[in-house]
Structure 1
């Protein structure tokens, strides 16, 4: 690695650390900045190579631990943010020459040479999304084990926070206990889903930025038609959904997997919606109304999760493409 690339990787790691540092220091206003922490690592990985991405991930973790004096803060940003970003950026940069006799029609993500033979086959988007969901689930499970996630131990702190926030009103102690239990039971489901969302959107934005700077070798993917999930994702999601009915630790582990892969299937459903509305005169209004409904009401998201599952099942039942 050249000194210039090493310097760029270190700068990207420092930028990621500064974005995440406010969350470690418990600054509520810095949450939005912390969600952008993977983007510098994505950018340097896509534009300057996988090694630069991994160096940026390590630098970010070391700086967070050093500046905050909290070792767990550096571990948090490394496991949940920068390491998955470096791995996903590495996967997005993978490509191989077409095999001898491999004739494929032109499609998004493939550079085609003369005669219809692709010069390079890039790592499929569906496998990148699968890897992001898997890494998000494993990161939340690992951090939950390391930090000692315990509903009964954390419940008194949540009850005190509800009382101090002024939202408790005339609620009794029993009602506050029930609300705290509900909130804590949703953490294993929501946290991996949010992490999958952050990593996926961060990769998309980083690819857009890197492409503008003309540093991205990968051709632009047509996400509405290229974004799917492999059949293994459906198996993992179904097994986790079934295991979530078991109480205790098994339930928490299963909910983490359900949250991560549920968000991944939601992305697939939204991509199918984008593809099916192409060519419609009211497409802009449909997309705006859909995303507004998701942002305000949240529950319409589950409809697109079902669409994503249906797309995967349909592709499993269709004959393999030659």
Structure 2
């Protein structure tokens, strides 16, 4: 009977995730939002009731969608939603003994961020062979898809015609996989943060809430980012895959840059205004993330926080 709550939580989380995932079929704006929070129930189960509950949720969701939408629907959920959410929940609670008996070293937040970035790029990479086996074939299939969508959609004033429309489809085909990897990474990070806050509020979070501004990346992260940037100049699909990893790692380094801003502004009287401005700019003009990522890379190289940081933040209860 001791496993009954865990099984029940996992079962309910799986059904909730499956419903959120299936809601995308309606095509509404709300449905798209619900689709992107489909990992949240599994993350909550995995973090609040240990990773076993998260794994049960992933399996239940895949089976439910397999019955409702067919084997492909269940498989897609398992690969893109269920198993990644279970893995992130598992890592979030991974721990080892610290320097003393009373200390515990929890899995670093920075490595969780990097895992999310790598998984986001990897999932889009795995989907590429299902569309095309070369870059031209892949983008050609995407352009054909856009053409069918625009043909069936209601007439939109201002939509270009002829060569201008073809150029628009070329741009969309080039950006779609990159945007997909970016959105998966960002939404997974938001879901992971939400799951942590929810389980903490409920009293079920067993690890202390980390100081996010103190997160660090291993040195190999910057090497991987620069390798992906160089790899993006490769021809055909190899260049596209490298672009995906460069994009999602850029998101990770943008977060590291934000952590640097949080630390280096602690002693400033206008800190609240500065942070508000940075986040507002990032939402309104996402390209600002490039400068934050550069700050994150500088942190990797010269330790900006150690050189210019303010006093340590008070520990989070």
TM-score (norm 2): 0.87
- Structure 1, unaligned stretches of length 5 or more? 103-112
Of 262, 266, 271, which residue of structure 1 is paired with 2:254? 266
Aligned length: 299
RMSD: 2.3
CA distance in 1, matches of 2:218, 2:176: 27
Task: Tell me whether 1:78 sits opposite 2:78 in the alignment.
Answer: yes
Runs ≥4 residues deviating over 6 A: none
3-state DSSP class of the match of 1:275?
helix
CA distance in 2, matches of 1:170, 1:182: 14
Of 210, 223, 229, which residue of structure 1 is paired with 2:199? 210
Q: 1:284, CA displacement in angstroms?
A: 2.4
Structure 2 residue aligned with 1:89 = 89
Q: Report the CA distance shift for 1:215/1:273 in structure 2 as closer, same or farther (over 3 A).
A: same
Deviations along 1:200-222, whole A, 9 cap, x unmatched?
11111111110111111100100
Deviations along 1:94-133, whole A, 9 cap, x unmatched?
11112xxx3xxxxxxxxxx7xxx75211111122112111
Q: Report the CA distance shift for 1:271/1:175 in structure 2 as closer, same or farther (over 3 A).
A: same
Q: 1:25, CA displacement in angstroms?
A: 5.1
Q: 1:14, CA displacement in angstroms?
A: 0.9
CA distance in 2, matches of 1:25, 1:81: 19
Q: 1:180, CA displacement in angstroms?
A: 0.9
Task: Tell me whether 1:199 sits opposite 2:183 in the alignment.
Answer: no
Structure 1 residue aligned with 2:311 = none
CA distance in 1, matches of 2:150, 2:267: 49
Q: 1:28, CA displacement in angstroms?
A: 4.4
- Structure 2, unaligned stretches of length 5 or more? 307-317
CA distance in 2, matches of 1:229, 1:166: 48
Structure 2 residue aligned with 1:49 = 50
Q: Report the CA distance shift for 1:85/1:170 in structure 2 as closer, same or farther (over 3 A).
A: closer
Structure 2 residue aligned with 1:30 = 31
Q: 1:41, CA displacement in angstroms?
A: 1.0
Of 269, 289, 306, which residue of structure 2 is paired with 1:301? 289
Q: Report the CA distance shift for 1:268/1:118 in structure 2 as closer, same or farther (over 3 A).
A: farther
Task: Tell me whether 1:222 sits opposite 2:211 in the alignment.
Answer: yes
Is this contact kept in 2: 1:162–1:176, CA < 8 A?
no
- Please show how residues 160-199 of structure 1 align to structure 2 within 5 Å: 161-162=149-150, 164=153, 166-167=155-156, 169=158, 171-199=160-188
3-state DSSP class of the match of 2:103?
strand
Task: Tell me whether 1:145 sits opposite 2:145 in the alignment.
Answer: no
Structure 1 residue aligned with 2:59 = 58
Q: Report the CA distance shift for 1:250/1:81 in structure 2 as closer, same or farther (over 3 A).
A: same
3-state DSSP class of the match of 2:163?
helix
Is this contact kept in 1: 2:217–2:300, CA < 8 A?
yes
Is this contact kept in 2: 1:189–1:256, CA < 8 A?
yes
Q: 1:314, CA displacement in angstroms?
A: 2.6
Deviations along 1:60-88, whole A, 9 cap, x unmatched?
12222322x24333223222222111111
Of 260, 274, 289, which residue of structure 2 is paired with 1:286? 274
Is this contact kept in 1: 2:146–2:169, CA < 8 A?
yes
Is this contact kept in 2: 1:188–1:259, CA < 8 A?
no
Structure 2 residue aligned with 1:123 = 107
CA distance in 1, matches of 2:276, 2:9: 38
Q: 1:171, CA displacement in angstroms?
A: 2.9
Is this contact kept in 1: 2:117–2:185, CA < 8 A?
yes
CA distance in 2, matches of 1:242, 1:55: 40
Q: Report the CA distance shift for 1:8/1:19 in structure 2 as closer, same or farther (over 3 A).
A: same
